[in-house]
Amino acid sequence: VQLVESGGGLVQAGGSLRLSCAASGFTFDDYAITWFRQAPGKEREGVICISRSRGSTYYADSVKGRFTISRDNAKNTVYLQMNRLKPEDTADYHCAAAFFNRCPPRQWSYNYWGQGTQVTVSS
């Protein structure tokens, strides 16, 4: 089982990035996928989730209107489109998979986790 994130990097404030989360080793279609992030010195927080039926749930109010999530089940991949990035978006971004129809809010509900990709937004 693997979740592999990619697409992170250094970007100026106001810029955009698209993160990818590629899954293998499990039945991807049966899982809700959430992006989490952890900034230095802070607790990990949920950002946004996409359910099996492609409904999205925002866990971080600060990203509403700027971040969107999508999934391509044919490619076993979830994408996080991040626009109008801010320095406070700087964090290590992880994707995680939960065997749920909807998006579970509790981190202990998630079965699989990726290693993360770093996003740094300069001011």
CB 86, CB 13: distance < 8 Å: yes
Residue 66 has pLDDT above 90, yes or no: yes
- How confident is the model at residue 101, as a pLDDT? 87
pLDDT at 51: 96
Spatial CA neighbour of 70 closest among 82, 61, 86: 82
The answer to whether 110 touches 8, Cβ cutoff 8 Å, is no
Q: What is the pLDDT of residues 82-98, one digit of tens each?
A: 999 999 999 999 999 99
- What pLDDT does residue 34 have? 97
